[in-house]
Structure 1
Amino acid sequence: MHDSLGLEPLVRGIPPVRSRRGPRRRRPAKLCADKGYDYDHLRRWLRKRGIRHRIARKGIESSTRLGRHRLVVERTVSWLAGCRRLHRRYERKAKHFLAFVGMAAALINYRRLTT
């Protein structure tokens, strides 16, 4: 499946976020994405849902200007990919896979805190 086809189900699947005051937010405030998501229908869909977007345009902008938040996410995914069991996805059940993701995140955090 192309990444652009998975954006809508991903955004719809985000659970409500509890805030300190007021009602829960049911959608993210803004979305940063690279050139793989540069499609007019995705931009319209995000605008219709009230989500501000920062999507690099093909042939015009560089993906590197999307900000430091995207780099944090990519670095974390890279750390998780360093765990062989997660990189190859040996587990068939999603519960088991998510349990190993949690264990890998705990190990990564432990290593970061002890050094």
Structure 2
Amino acid sequence: MARSELPDEFWQEIEPLLPPDTLPGEQGGRPRIPNKTAMRGIFYILTTGIRWEDIPREIGCSGMTCWRRLRDWQKLSLWDQLHRLILAQLRKAEKIDLSLVVVDSTISRTVGGGEQTGPNPTDRRKPGTKQHLIVDRNGIPLEIRVTGANRHDVREIIPLVINIPAIGGKPGAPIHKPKVVQADRAYHDQWVDALLYWMGIIPRIAKRNTPHGSGLGKTRFVVERTISWIRGLRRLRVRFDRHDYIYQAWNSLAMAFICWRTLIE
């Protein structure tokens, strides 16, 4: 269980963002599960991929309690706040490089259907969900968008670029606009190129119907590596959550954790 335990240093980043623990009132009652205990359960499920009801007793809380906290904290945008906070620390440590961003996607099988799912064209049209990811030159995850598995990649590249969070951490205005966007042939479209140029961004996207060997893979590997890190968090290998906001919470927490690991390296 050691690898699935919530790191104390990561908890120290999360704790200031959470609502304070509450004590029983004057009439007594059952004490509320502490935030740290619930977070331990959430992190354990993220890393092991087990079902909510199978959470070990030694964690100290039930799976339903962990689910409610994950839901409530997602409604407070806590995971996005945590992600932006750690991105600012990475920029302060000179570990963010927006001179180049790279885009790619991955498809996960869906159990039980749910929101933002669709027929997977690579798996006999079984239900699936697609994660569209944009990372910086070093592979640091900046944004994830969740759609159905049948959503074409080219439709998501502009929303990914637009939704890159403003990254502080240094004096002056936050940064959020990359200089170059790189992607494979699935993202090539003349209107995408035109919009990126209009935004002041250089598109470096492999063109359709051209021979392979463009050389973009030499720098595009960072997004594939980050995807492997995300899928290493087993809750994100297969989608079990029907509600979109719960699945988005897992993705945001995964981005924050990967950023934190990069920060402490």
> Which bracket does the TM-score occupy, shorter chain normalised?
0.7 to 0.9
**TM-aligned CA distance change 1:103 to 1:85, over 3 Å:** farther
1:30, distance to aligned residue in structure 2 (A): 0.7
Structure 1 counterpart of 2:161, which letter?
Answer: V
- Which of 220, 231, 240 aligns to 1:90? It is 240
Give per-residue Cα distances to partners, 1:48-102, cap 9 Å, x unaligned: 0000111111122426611433201101202322443211122331224433x25
Alpha carbons of structure 1 residues 3 and 22: separation in structure 2 relative to 1, 3 Å: same
1:9/1:55 Cα in 2 relative to 1: closer, same or farther (>3 Å)? same
The equivalences for 1:1-115 within 5 A come to: 1-18=151-168, 20=170, 22-62=172-212, 65-91=215-241, 92=243, 93=246, 94-99=248-253, 101=254, 105=258
Deviates more, 1:87-96 or 1:20-29: 20-29
Aligned partner of 2:179: which letter?
A
SS at 1:65 equivalent: coil
| Change beyond 3 A, Cα 1:87–1:63 | farther
* Stretches of structure 1 lacking an aligned partner (at least 5 in a row): none
Determine which structure has more spread, i.e. the larger CA radius of gyration: 2
TM-score when normalising by structure 2? 0.35
Name the CA shift for 1:72/1:19 in 2 (closer, same or farther; >3 Å): same
- Give the Cα separation in 2 of the matches to 1:52 and 1:76: 23
The count of residues paired between Structure 1 and Structure 2 equals 108
When you count strand as a share of all residues, which structure comes out higher?
2
Higher relative contact order (CA 8 A, sep 6+): 2
CA distance in 1, matches of 2:172, 2:251: 35
Quick check: which one's helix share is greater? 1
- Unpaired stretches in structure 2, ≥5 consecutive residues: 1-150
Secondary structure of the 1:32 match is strand
* TM-score normalised over the length of structure 1: 0.73
* 2-structure distance, mates of 1:103, 1:23: 22
The Cα RMSD (Å) is: 2.9
